[in-house]
């Protein structure tokens, strides 16, 4: 490596050129798709339940991790718990609504879904719409 680019405490020295930028969105989408396939909702639920158990036992990292999702992280925008409750009570699902918009407009889910997955999403949306229509009092 060339000239010294960091101070003793690890911070970059003034004038140090920046490193590589973020990966392209297509790369990010591919990574997200791989992660979602490797960690289905049932697996994620088990991870969350384990974190709750560990947090109750006094694990500070588990507590911090849960707090970032449940209370919010100043650096990230997490949904407010009340918004989640309202969505559950009203049956509103922002992700499903967005998927429905993409299906309706012929969107490609930013390259994250195969044609088979898009067809499954369409079928799920049709079933959900049918269930709403068949609901008593609807």
Digit-by-digit pLDDT tens for the chain (138 residues) are 445 577 777 777 777 766 666 556 666 777 878 888 888 888 989 999 999 999 999 999 999 999 888 877 666 666 677 777 777 788 777 777 777 777 677 665 555 566 666 677 777 777 777 777 776 655
126 lies in a domain?
yes
Q: pTM for the complete prediction?
A: 0.38
Range of the domain at 74: 24-78
φ, ψ of residue 6 in degrees (nearest 5): -130, 150
Give the angle subtended at the CA of 69 by the CAs of 63 and 70, to the nearest 5°: 80
- Residue 112 within any structural domain of the chain: yes
Domain count, the chain: 2
Q: Judge contact between 5 and 16, C-beta under 8 A.
A: yes
């Amino acid at each position: 490596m060339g000239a010294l680019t960091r101070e003793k405490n690890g911070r970059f020295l003034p004038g140090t050129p920046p490193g590589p930028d973020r990966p392209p969105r297509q790369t990010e989408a591919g990574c997200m798709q791989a992660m979602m396939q490797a960690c289905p909702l049932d697996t994620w639920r088990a991870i969350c339940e384990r974190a709750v158990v560990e947090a109750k036992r006094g694990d500070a990292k588990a507590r911090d991790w849960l707090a970032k999702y449940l209370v919010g992280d100043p650096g990230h925008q997490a949904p407010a718990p009340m918004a989640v409750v309202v969505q559950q009570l009203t049956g509103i699902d922002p992700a499903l609504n967005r998927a429905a918009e993409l299906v309706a407009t012929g969107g490609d889910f930013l390259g994250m879904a195969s044609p088979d997955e898009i067809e499954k999403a369409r079928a799920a949306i049709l079933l959900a719409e049918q269930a709403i229509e068949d609901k008593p009092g609807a």
